[in-house]
Amino acid sequence: MSQTPNSADQTDKSLFGFWVYLMTDCVLFASLFAAFVVLRDSTWGGHSAGALFSANFALTETLILLTSSFICGLAILSAYRGQKQRASWLFGLTFVLGVAFLALEIREFNHLYQLGDSWRRSAFLSAFFTLVGTHGLHITAGLVWIATMLWRIRRTGLSQHNLKQLTMLSLFWHFLDVIWIFIFSIVYMLGLI
Amino acid sequence: MKGIRIRSYVIGFGLSLVLTLSSYFVVKHHLDTGHLSPSHSAGRGAVMILAISQLLVQLYFFLHVRRNRASAWNAAAMAFAAVIVVILVAGSLWIMTNLDYHHAHNDLPNHSDSEIIKDEGVGP
């Protein structure tokens, strides 16, 4: 199962390129965080973070996503060891946890919308929906990617090509959990204090 | 990506769990004591320190950013992104807290609100 020097170099370059993409994604999220922090008190007479957020709910979402990131790590390890069935099950579990997270988030968005606290209500809410919504869109893209990889593993197994893509996928998924740490802390925890 | 072991993920998961729950309990305690203990600033400080710690834990145990030759380029790209992020966030906070809206004619209460209403032609 050894690679020729060429393909190993290619993998390294691809992984580094993907890492650079993740760094640019960091800058994107930083700008959304900056906007949110500046606007968090601009409620235009409406509800503030303290009135709208629940610590228990935020914790639940966080634990689900954290577990998902952990399972993803176990999944990629199985893939490296050529354990096709196990890797598929673990990536599948990663997917299920990701869906659970997204479902909770959509429920919260809908709840706020029904209350009249949509993104149109105030600058604070605009910034909230933009920041958290962008993260949610990234999660959605990740879920599509996981599903695609599960299909590819079924069709062509754990080839070098698929392993490279699975590696990038797991980097992406871990990255999304890292961003969520800051959403949990800065939006929800600090919002409640 | 060779030589990574399950242990890395297990330790990372365990530490992240502890840090997340700590943040949660700091806030819970703060709310249960009617925003008294810990104080607002102490609570904020604690949450941020716990967040940064968890970032470092996940970078090391999940994303495998180490101080070896293989990670050197990744670390360099990350350091550069960090510089941009710091400028962006700190700069935005600095500028936005020093606007005229917030500082000029602060003798009148709600002066900035009436200025905004006048300028923009809107109202709450």
A30, A73, A184: residue with CB nearest B89: A30
Chain A residue numbers with beta carbons less than 8 Å from the beta carbon of B73 are 16
The confidence score (pLDDT) of residue B121 equals: 79
Q: How many CA atoms lie within 13 A of A53 on its CB side?
A: 28
What is the tens place of the pLDDT at every residue in A129-175?
999 999 999 999 999 999 999 999 999 999 999 999 999 999 999 99
* pLDDT of B113 over the 80 cut: no
For residues A121-127, average pLDDT: 96
Chain B residue numbers with beta carbons less than 8 Å from the beta carbon of A120 are none
| Complex prediction ipTM | 0.91
Chain B residue numbers with beta carbons less than 8 Å from the beta carbon of A176 are none
B17, B43, B50: residue with CB nearest A66: B17
Inter-chain CB proximity B44 and A193 less than 8 Å: yes
- Give CA–CA dist A143/A45, Å, rounded: 38
For residues A105-126, average pLDDT: 96
What is the tens place of the pLDDT at every residue in A28-83?
999 999 999 999 999 999 999 999 999 999 999 999 999 999 999 999 999 999 99
Give the phi and the psi of residue A77 in degrees, each rounded to 5.
Answer: -65, -45
- Give CA–CA dist A27/A75, Å, rounded: 28
Which of B7, B24, B30 is the best residue to mutate to test the A interface, defined by the most A CB atoms within 10 Å of its own CB?
Answer: B24
Question: Which long-range contacts link B5-12 to residues 24+ away (Cβ below 8 Å)?
Answer: B5/A77, B6/A74, B6/A77, B8/A73, B8/B61, B8/B62, B8/B64, B9/A70, B9/A73, B9/A74, B9/A77, B9/B61, B9/B62, B10/A70, B11/B61, B12/A70, B12/A73, B12/B57, B12/B58, B12/B60, B12/B61, B12/B62
- Give CA–CA dist A33/A55, Å, rounded: 19
The confidence score (pLDDT) of residue A7 equals: 76
What is the tens place of the pLDDT at every residue in A16-39?
999 999 999 999 999 999 999 999
Inter-chain CB proximity A178 and B8 less than 8 Å: no
* pLDDT of B119 over the 90 cut: no
In the structure encoding, which two tokens stand for residue A85, read together?
Answer: 């069935």
